[in-house]
């Protein structure tokens, strides 16, 4: 490797390290001067800076047309990578796109959160109705839509009697621990299920 190439590599290395450090300490300078993709690769420090206030778990329910009710839809068969922890891609979609809801766009375009959650909704309804995997809702039961929620499970205090963290069915969690973030528009559910407008109360 010649001297010019070595110098260029030193400069690139220094820029990368400076970007990692600045991004980690909360500076917005890398975001201002670097392309977004370059900045993305520098977001590797600043791990676990805040205390958790609850254990968060994301879940989905499906509207079962024949039974006319919401039932828990196990998303893990459709998101098989790391199915049992918060690195699962379904959990990550909700993590990224429910928590950071920005203001409505003024240009008439749908918000990124809405675009993403609708796509997720369509993916899950389609995947269940294809009937290829077991997701907790019988395969012969058509889904008309989905709704997504988070569980905010209180943290124990030091000295409390602890229980291993395990995934319980949704029905085991009280309503006050649930926060609903999205559901398929009612008109769409009615159309999917062949209902008359206003025929059923979906909430």
Partner 1 sequence: MSAFDRLSTWIDEPQPVLRLALVRILAPLAILGFMSARLVHADEWIGDAGFRVPDLGGDWRQPIFIPALPSNVAWALAALMIVSGLACAAGWKTRGSGLVFAATLAFVAVSDRLAAFTVSKLSPFVMLAVALGPSGTRLGVDAWRKQRAGGKRPLKVEVAGSLRFLQLLLVTIYSASGIAKVHGDWLKEPLVLWTQLHDSYQTPFTFALASALPAWAWTLFQGLTLAFELGAPLWFVLPRTRVPALCFGLGMHAMIGLMFGPVVWFALLMMILLAATFLPDAGLAPLERLADRLEERRPAEAR
Least CB distance to partner 1 at residue 176 (A): 18
CA distance 12 to 10: 6
Q: Of the candidates 29, 66, 86, 134, which one interacts with partner 1 according to CB under 8 A? A: 86
- As measured in angstroms, the least distance from the Cβ of 70 to partner 1 is 21
Distance from C-alpha of 65 to C-alpha of 127, rounded to nearest angstrom? 15
32 contributes a contact to partner 1 by CB under 8 A: no
DSSP state of 104: P
Give the range of 65-73, 85-93, 140-148, 189-197 binding partner 1 by CB under 8 A: 85-93
User: Which lies closer to partner 1 via its Cβ, residue 32 or residue 164?
Assistant: 164
Applying CB under 8 A, the site for partner 1 has a residue count of 66
- Interface region with partner 1, contact rule CB under 8 A, candidates 66-74, 88-96, 175-183, 191-199: 88-96
* Residue 154 phi, psi dihedral angles, 5° rounding: -60, 145
CB half-sphere exposure, 138, CA atoms < 13 A: 6
Instruction: List the one residue from 68, 76, 92, 152 that touches partner 1 (CB under 8 A).
Output: 92
54-64 β-sheet, strand order:
69-73, 54-64, 143-154, 178-183
Q: Does 201 participate in binding partner 1 (rule CB under 8 A)? A: no
Q: Provide the b/e sequence for 4-29 (b: ≥16 CB within 10 Å).
A: eeeeeeeeeeeeeeebbebbbeeeee
Q: What is the DSSP letter of 198?
A: T
**Which residues of the shown chain bind partner 1 in the complex (CB under 8 A)?**
1, 6, 9-10, 13, 16-17, 20-26, 36-37, 39-53, 55-57, 78-82, 84-87, 89-90, 92-93, 96-97, 100, 109, 112, 115-116, 119-120, 123, 153, 155-156, 158-159, 162, 164-165, 167
């Amino acid at each position: 490797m010649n001297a010019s190439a070595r110098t260029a590599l030193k400069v690139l290395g220094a820029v990368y390290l400076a970007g990692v450090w600045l991004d980690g300490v909360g500076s917005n300078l890398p975001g201002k001067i670097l392309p977004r993709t370059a900045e993305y690769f520098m977001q590797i420090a600043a791990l676990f800076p805040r205390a958790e206030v609850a254990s968060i778990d994301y879940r989905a329910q499906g509207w079962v047309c024949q039974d006319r009710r919401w039932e828990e839809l196990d998303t893990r068969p459709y998101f098989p990578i790391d199915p049992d922890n918060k690195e699962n891609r379904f959990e990550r979609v909700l993590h990224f796109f429910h928590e950071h809801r920005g203001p409505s766009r003024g240009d008439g375009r749908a918000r990124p959160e809405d675009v993403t959650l609708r796509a997720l909704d369509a993916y899950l309804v389609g995947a269940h109705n294809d009937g290829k995997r077991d997701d907790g809702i019988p395969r012969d039961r058509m889904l008309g839509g989905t709704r997504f929620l988070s569980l905010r499970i209180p943290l124990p205090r030091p000295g409390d009697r602890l229980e291993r963290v395990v995934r319980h069915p949704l029905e085991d969690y009280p309503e006050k621990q649930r926060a609903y973030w999205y559901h398929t528009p009612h008109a769409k559910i009615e159309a999917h299920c062949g209902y008359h407008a206003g025929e059923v109360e979906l909430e």
